[in-house]
Amino acid sequence: MNKTKKQKSLLFIVLLIIVISYILIKREKEPVQSLYHINKVPNLESVDIDGRTIKSSNFTGKKLYIQFINSFFQPDIILFKTVYEKWSSEDLYFLGIISNSNVLNHKEKSNFKRITLIEKDFDAFCRKFNVTKNNGFYFIVDEKGIIVSSGQNDLGYEKGPKIFLKKFIKGDFFSISEFIRENENINKLRWFSQASKLINDQKNKNYFLISLFTKICNSCSGGEILRALDKINKKDKNKSMYILCILNRSKFRDKDIPILKSQLKIDFPTIIADYNLNKKWDSLIKRYNEDLLTDIIFLLDESGKIIKVADRTCKCLPSFFNHVNSLIEEEEGE
């Protein structure tokens, strides 16, 4: 009996250790939510890897990129090198708070300009910035020491600091109007010859709904948009509206279309972008990123004039679809 009790107690202790370990591991992996409440760089005072005293005053009046680099986590090192490579010629200073500077070779260290590397007090700086040792973060700081953007290093360069650095350093703001301009006639957009031909071939249609995608799946916003378009397609009894889905040629192939349509259960035409459209599309993806150049949808009249545009960044998709549905109701009521 005593032996059975001991076994049960031991089993309970083992289970308790497993549960506690799981909770601690899960907490360590989760993003530090309180990070985004830090709006100013805390007081800095340390010694860099060359033995120079470093203080907050060293960076007064300078635009600054700060990154925590855990030498055992490769994405941290890759991100730091990428940002430096892309932005070292601009008006930006770099501060790397690194757990072990030996991961950077002598040549790399000597070639760095406007860069400070601090290895000492790594743990203390983690506490000051309210980040964990394992969750690497970057911070973009203005001339007054205010943190204007931050994020986790494992997002990578394209989905991490790239877009904000373009705004912060170069004043380069992305707008969907660079791709499609409202009140523009589609025939004037040479790279949109594919849509122009469609309008000429469908003269009996009063409206055209054309959507552009670089990614589509059942659970993403692209899938939701296509299902919303399918509802419109089924609702339009007079078929006065033509709906077309255009896929980025760099992301999809013709053989993907039947599978995609079957999974999403859509009936309207789906095609791959031609060379002209894809050239424009890819040039903007390279300049900004894929997430900004997907889930674009626009409404045209029978002359090819763009009446309304919506995309995932404007938070205007509900009002867009309300407008489209109202047009169908008007057609049905006549």
DSSP string covering 217-242 = -SSSHHHHHHHHHHHHHHH-TT--EE
Residue 137 in contact with residue 147, Cβ under 8 Å? Answer: no
Distance CA 85, CA 307 (A): 42
Q: Give the per-residue pLDDT at 37.
A: 55
Q: Give the per-residue pLDDT at 31.
A: 36
User: Exposed, middle or buried by CB within 10 Å (0-12, 13-18, 19+), for 154?
Assistant: middle
Q: Give the per-residue pLDDT at 24.
A: 44
Residue 166 in contact with residue 149, Cβ under 8 Å? Answer: no
Residue 329 in contact with residue 234, Cβ under 8 Å? Answer: no
Instruction: Annotate 261-294 with DSSP letters as a single string.
Output: HHHHT--S-EEE--HHHHHHHHHHHHHS-GGGGS
pLDDT tens digits in sequence order for the chain, 334 residues long: 555 666 666 666 666 566 555 544 443 443 333 344 578 898 888 988 888 898 988 899 999 999 999 877 888 889 998 999 999 888 899 999 988 877 665 445 545 567 888 888 888 888 888 887 776 899 999 999 999 999 989 889 988 999 899 989 988 888 888 888 889 999 999 899 999 999 999 988 999 999 999 998 878 888 889 999 999 999 888 889 999 999 999 999 999 999 988 888 888 999 999 999 999 999 999 888 888 899 999 999 999 999 999 988 888 889 999 999 999 888 766 6
Q: Give the per-residue pLDDT at 271.
A: 95
Delineate the domains of the chain, giving CATH numbers in brackets. Answer: 32-170 (3.40.30.10), 176-333 (3.40.30.10)
Tokens of 16: 């308790």
Could you identify the residue written with the tokens 């940002």? Answer: 83
